[in-house]
Structure 1
């Protein structure tokens, strides 16, 4: 949920520069200043500060993201118990389905991939650990929103909107809430080309002590994700995997301290 508290403009600018470097896969000073509509001197000062602190690297005249972010990302992921107990079950599900299997969490109203495993027939997709996606466009997102309080879902929609990713994306609030009600009844969610054209997905939430911890999803081409395999068998396998992870999370807390669920 967005806060009305004031933000520090200099910090906002640094983050804008970091995001722009990632989106553009590296850029020069002039290109960045033009893209961000900022004075070159301002961008230069921020880049030099980031470079001095090892968050940005410079090769010739091009700046890019430094590997120090990898260290921070691994730390953030490993702080979650889910990232420690979930992967073995994700690997098993990938072997069972031969498709792409994902372990995700919700953070700041978006879905975040924290682990993925390719089955033998998995297709290449645009996702990777750390990628953030609008919840309403994906099976995982709808699966977790179905178990959130209605006011929390409203807050997420108010913050991020319901942007259209494909012609199949749900962009109407009432339609989304109607689908969330169905998802609560069946305990799993479908994505039929709602985020990526040609891609279908099934997901189930991971819930412990009435807390939504994350979710499991299986993605694949719609040519294979159809019929009873898509509507019945996959949901059964995914929910079974989610249940095993829930049990492991419950008992894993006794062995590992100082981590988040």
Structure 2
């Protein structure tokens, strides 16, 4: 039995197995020798962890190469399907992507970072590979996405300060807001207008519009956003038309959450 930084008792063997899984994910698979260089465990101990994880389907072993197992797919789908927001919004996300032809994102917040719950790509969607790759990351910053700003607009000033203290405000591009007070002013505009914008702050050449999604009790659950090439989001399309469309779909999702209408 071990303890973590907060003094809670933890199980050392489980912690080591999780470290093995994290390493396999970050290394995109590895040999036993490569893992031994990455993790402070002997090859014998590593082999024991890998064999146990393999027996349960969480690791696949091909030749001398180890990789994450497909058992995670069933766990991931179970977790996502258990989230009411996903069940209420999936169909609307697909419809919005079909209507706009663009990339549509359903985002939640987890530990002050962005968690992608679902995405759908219309027939004119740009940046698909970039967004798909983002799904593999543990959590992206909220301050430079339209969906992230939408969620953060519902945080208190103390919560914003705590988030910035923990994660900072790194640049996504030269257009990213990195000043704390300027960002708070931006969030005030989001609250006033009911939607947020991303003006090439995450990826150059891409703009986005997002709006927060609330539970029947008024709690912010996540956000819906649409991203598209900046050349297609100009003038009223960026500041009026797309914000109106996104908020219409948010309204439907919020009704679905109240009535229990689901799309999966």
Settle same-fold status: TM greater than 0.5. Answer: yes
Q: Where does residue 17 of structure 1 map in the other structure?
A: 20
Q: Contact between 1:113 and 1:130, CA under 8 Å: does it hold in 2?
A: no
CA distance in 2, matches of 1:188, 1:56: 42
Per-residue deviation at 1:166?
Answer: 2.3
Q: Where does residue 228 of structure 1 map in the other structure?
A: 236
Match of 1:188 among 186, 195, 200: 195
Q: Contact between 2:208 and 2:227, CA under 8 Å: does it hold in 1?
A: yes
**Would you say how many aligned residue pairs link Structure 1 and Structure 2?**
252
Higher mean Cα deviation, 3-12 or 72-81? Answer: 3-12
Per-residue deviation at 1:165?
Answer: 2.6
CA distance in 2, matches of 1:70, 1:115: 15
Return closer, same or farther for 1:15/1:127 CA change in 2, 3 Å cut-off: farther
Return closer, same or farther for 1:99/1:161 CA change in 2, 3 Å cut-off: same
Q: Contact between 2:107 and 2:148, CA under 8 Å: does it hold in 1?
A: no
Q: Where does residue 197 of structure 1 map in the other structure?
A: 204
| Cα deviation code 1:210-242 (max 9, x no counterpart) | 101111110122222222211211111001111
CA distance in 2, matches of 1:5, 1:169: 38
CA distance in 1, matches of 2:142, 2:197: 12
Higher mean Cα deviation, 26-35 or 236-245? Answer: 26-35
CA distance in 2, matches of 1:211, 1:63: 42
Measured on the aligned residues, the alpha-carbon RMSD in Å equals 2.2
Q: Where does residue 84 of structure 1 map in the other structure?
A: 87
CA distance in 2, matches of 1:22, 1:108: 20
Q: Contact between 2:147 and 2:210, CA under 8 Å: does it hold in 1?
A: yes
Match of 2:170 among 163, 167, 178: 163
Matching of residues 26-45 of structure 1 within 5 Å = 26-36=29-39, 38-45=41-48
Per-residue deviation at 1:4?
Answer: 3.4
TM-score (norm 2): 0.86
Q: Where does residue 4 of structure 1 map in the other structure?
A: 6
Q: Where does residue 259 of structure 1 map in the other structure?
A: none
Give 5+ residue unaligned stretches, structure 1.
256-261
Return closer, same or farther for 1:151/1:96 CA change in 2, 3 Å cut-off: same
Return closer, same or farther for 1:81/1:138 CA change in 2, 3 Å cut-off: same
Per-residue deviation at 1:6?
Answer: 4.0
Q: Where does residue 62 of structure 1 map in the other structure?
A: 65
